[in-house]
Amino acid sequence: MANNQERPKCSCVQSSCTQLYCRCFRSRYFCSDNCNCSGCYNIKYYEDAIEEISDMIQMKNPNAFDPRIIVSVQDATAADPQSSTSAISDPKNTSDAMPGNEQRKHAKGCSCRKSKCSKLYCECFKVNQATNQIQMIRVLLTA
């Protein structure tokens, strides 16, 4: 399990922080005192059991712990019409990228059938809404 100061905080009630929808467990962090979870097993004391659970989940789905949102950054060489490749990188590592050339997209997609990604709980909607707000701000700043 990773150990970092910028750790997520969860508020799990019934899952004991051993499911993928727990922010700490998905990010491979142990729950901390800042979390609001109850009946938590995602602590250092149960490290072996948590490792077993995460290994079982990863055996069923190898991409289970991968990030849900991928930031695609078009670097300076991609601005050339002959080279139209885009580099997929970490959102924090945009040192090679030109400002304003990053695009966020959902790695797997969602399972919205009836709502067609128009509800607030859909991650695609959240990402699209964020990028639309950023584009709107850029238009207002250039006007």
pLDDT digits (tens, 9 = 90+) for 87-97: 444 444 444 44
What CA–CA distance (Å, rounded) separates 45 from 99?
A: 44
140 and 122, same structural domain? yes
Confidence of residue 78 (pLDDT cuts 50, 70, 90): very low
Domain count across the chain: 3
Q: What angle do CA 10, 55, 31 make, to 5 degrees?
A: 20
Same domain flag for 57 and 7: yes
Same domain, 5 and 60: yes
* 112 confidence band (pLDDT: 50, 70, 90): confident
Same domain, 16 and 36: yes
- Domain range spanning residue 117? 111-143
The rounded distance, in Å, linking the Cα atoms of 77 and 96 is 10
4 and 57 belong to one structural domain: yes
Burial bucket for residue 55 (CB in 10 Å: 0-12, 13-18, 19+): exposed
**Residues belonging to the chain:** 143
Q: Are residues 31 and 58 in the same domain?
A: yes
Q: Could you tell me if 117 and 128 lie in one domain?
A: yes
Is the separation of the CB atoms in 114 and 126 below 8 Å?
no
Clarify whether residues 76 and 117 are in a common domain.
no
Q: For residues 82 and 126, state if they share a domain.
A: no
Q: Is the pLDDT of residue 77 over 60?
A: no
Q: Are residues 11 and 45 in the same domain?
A: yes
Asked if residue 30 has pLDDT above 70, the reply is yes
Q: Are residues 102 and 91 in the same domain?
A: yes
Q: Does one domain contain both 16 and 51?
A: yes
